[in-house]
Amino acid sequence: MEAKFQIQELLGIGMTLIVLVIGLAYGLEVTSDVQDGMTVDSAQYNATGSGIEAVAKIPTKLPMIVTVIVASVVIGILVTYLYKSFA
């Protein structure tokens, strides 16, 4: 069985990352707007603040996620090339 890799398959990964970043950005903005309409020092206000802090940590991990994806693709290409060369 021969595995084939096409560079067009990376488009889906790229689009997923773009949608993730846009969703996080708008999610943070909406959550912040909701928090602005709440009474300060209420349980809901504090919970919304904790949610904003939690969601804001995800974009800081995106460079690592992208690095892992790129490394996986490069390793996959190398393994495929080496397998064809020595098989």
Per residue in 22-32, pLDDT (tens digit) is 999 898 999 99
Is the pLDDT at 84 greater than 80, yes or no?
no
pLDDT tens-digit readout, 36-51: 988 898 999 999 999 9
Report the Cα–Cα distance between both ends of the chain, in Å, rounded.
Answer: 12
* Percentage of the chain exceeding pLDDT 90: 28
Query: Average pLDDT for residues 58-69, to the nearest whole number?
Result: 89
Residue 9 scores a pLDDT above 80: no
Q: Is the pTM of this model over 0.75?
A: no
